[in-house]
């Protein structure tokens, strides 16, 4: 007997029971596929090397102690050298003199002062004094930086101070990337509102989520490259030997690249929830629309009768 369209087969229940029994014995095919792919990936040498580098990078960036021991006497000496470099009376005096002289010169810089007298003469007399103190400020800044390099070289690049400086620079770069992502997302939302498109709430929320994820990804990548150049500058300030400098830069970059996916996964963990909510809302709207259309058809038929 031929089965009528729209009616289930007599063997549909049996096939469903057989399929459920097979799932109970063999497991979900999707889970089995994921396990097979993961097992095959683990056997790959490249994947193993990547996992090892990822673990080493995380340990170096988050948990690793200093490889060079700093005694309490060395710590006290280092702190004294840092205080001496930070509290340079000649630098503060030169900076105060420069600000005073520059402000005095700026008072004569009115509109079109280059073509007006006596303002041009006044600026020509006052600006060289400000430039002299600016050169003195630059000289004292170089002297202070030399003292800081000497203090950092005293404790060493691989000490706790070097690793703390490394982590501080990384998190500062991350904060800058996060601020960039927030600003770009905010500007996008303003432009979206000002464009005044006729869109439903779900489309607007989904667009905002996509833009936020893309801006966060761009901010993290930008922070990673910014950290790399900042890391190179930091390493040179400790004045290490070339081998130690190269090893530290490589480990620092691997550590930053290992932490970024962890931050990204934790920061975007809400994305599947939003997508699920959006999909369920669309399904509910579709079902409500179909139900409304069906009710209209029934009412039309009753009216025709």
Average pLDDT over residues 101-110: 93
Average pLDDT over residues 256-277: 66
Dist. CA 41–CA 33, nearest whole Å: 12
Side-chain-side CA neighbours of 87 within 13 Å: the count stands at 6
114's CB contacts (< 8 A; 6+ apart) are 120
Average pLDDT over residues 240-247: 92
HEC readout, 82-126: HHHHHCCHHHHHHHHHHHHHHHHHHCCCCCCHHHCCCHHHHHHHH
Token pair, residue 223, equals 């922070």
Residue at token pair 């904060």: 175
Rounded to the nearest integer, the mean pLDDT of the chain is 80
- More reliable by pLDDT, 238 or 190: 238
Residue at token pair 């490249």: 46
Assess whether pLDDT exceeds 80 at residue 135. Answer: yes
Side-chain-side CA neighbours of 1 within 13 Å: the count stands at 6
């Amino acid at each position: 007997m031929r089965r009528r369209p729209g009616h289930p087969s007599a063997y549909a229940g049996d096939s469903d029971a057989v399929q459920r029994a097979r799932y109970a014995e063999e497991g979900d095919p999707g889970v089995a596929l994921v396990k097979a792919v993961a097992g095959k990936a683990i056997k790959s040498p490249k994947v193993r090397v990547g996992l090892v580098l990822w673990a080493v990078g995380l340990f170096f960036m988050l948990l690793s102690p200093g490889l060079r021991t700093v005694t309490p006497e060395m710590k006290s000496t280092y702190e004294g050298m840092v205080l001496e470099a930070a509290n340079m009376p000649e630098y503060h005096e030169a900076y105060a003199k420069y600000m005073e002289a520059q402000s005095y010169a700026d008072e004569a810089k009115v509109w079109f002062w280059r073509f007006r007298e006596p303002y041009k003469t006044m600026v020509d007399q006052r600006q060289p004094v400000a430039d002299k103190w600016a050169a003195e400020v630059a000289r004292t800044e170089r002297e202070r930086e030399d003292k800081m390099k000497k203090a950092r070289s005293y404790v060493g690049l691989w000490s706790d101070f070097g690793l703390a400086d490394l982590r501080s620079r990384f998190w500062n770069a991350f904060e800058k990337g996060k601020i960039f992502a927030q600003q770009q997302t905010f500007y996008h939302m303003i432009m979206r509102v000002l464009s005044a498109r006729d869109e439903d709430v779900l489309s607007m929320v989904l667009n905002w989520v996509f833009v936020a994820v893309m801006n966060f990804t761009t901010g993290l990548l930008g922070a990673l490259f910014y950290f790399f150049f900042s890391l190179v500058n930091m390493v040179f300030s400790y004045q290490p030997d070339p081998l130690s400098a190269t090893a530290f830069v490589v480990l620092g970059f691997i550590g930053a690249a290992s932490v970024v996916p962890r931050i990204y996964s934790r920061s975007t963990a809400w994305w599947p929830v939003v997508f699920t909510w959006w999909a369920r809302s669309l399904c509910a709207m579709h079902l409500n629309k179909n139900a409304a259309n069906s009710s209209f058809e029934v009412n039309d038929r009753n009216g025709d009768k």
